[in-house]
Chain A
Amino acid sequence: MTGLSGGDLLVILRHAPHGSSWLKEGLDTALVAAAFGQRVSLLFMGDGVMALLPGQGSGPLGQKGTQPTLQMLEMYDIDSLWVEHQALLERGLNDMSLSVDATRIEKDAISRLLAEHTQILNF
């Protein structure tokens, strides 16, 4: 992996969609930070990689998923997207095409990603 980009804020997303609001609220925070002119990166870690599966929909009561928010990232100029390679492998999802273009990051590079951001918010 080359070219680890730094930034003002790294948002770590570790929860799957639908089961809790962590993913959604983490993404909302990222969008607002970007709207405030911050250079924002996202790291999908652990169960957070489930956010990147294509084909997700609303919940049975019409609860919004997070897929529409992911599609907004580009509009907010959030293009530094990282996904934990090991987490994809552990879930047998590494061969799937992801719903947004995220770069696979190896375990041993994660601490460097954290170090290169001024602020970190963990969801």
Chain B
Amino acid sequence: MVLHILNRSPSMSRVFQQALDAMGTDDRLLLIEDGVQGALPQLIPYLEPVLGRLFVLKEDLVSRALEGHCDARAIVVDVDGFVSLTEEADKTVSWF
């Protein structure tokens, strides 16, 4: 399993599409930095193919006042959860 880390919002950049194209069926996607906007209900459809293995970083949601606005299908993890995701992955790829 590969952990893909995305720091761009789907509203701003098409990089998310590259990440999706590169993801295998068991791979996971973690949204960080501006990428957390992808967890908003209006934007999460872009990431529909990876629902169920879509994670979003809590600290980056909180600092942007977005935590209460997330789609429930995005799994919220804190930075310890981020480390834990990297423990479980064979390798990671960062998309920016």
Contact = CB atoms under 8 A, between A and B. Distances in A.
Interface stretch (A34-42, A73-81, A110-118): A110-118
Interface residues of A, number: 15
A106 B23 CA distance: 13
Interface string A24-51: 0000000000000000000001100000
Contacts of A107: 21
A111 B94 CA distance: 14
A110 B91 contact: no
Contact of A114 (B2, B25, B96): B2
Interface centre among A111, A112, A119, A120 (most CB of B within 10 A): A111
Determine the main DSSP class of B at the interface with A: mixed
Contact of A111 (B23, B95, B96): B23
Contacts of A114: 2, 22, 24, 93
B71 interface: no
Contacts of A45: 18, 22
In the complex, which of the residues B18, B91, B93 has the most CB atoms of chain A within 10 Å of its own CB atom?
A: B18
A110 B93 contact: no
B27 interface: yes
Interface of A: 12, 14, 45-46, 86, 107, 110-112, 114-115, 118-120, 122
10 contacts: A14-B18, A107-B21, A110-B22, A111-B22, A111-B23, A111-B25, A114-B93, A115-B24, A120-B2, A122-B93
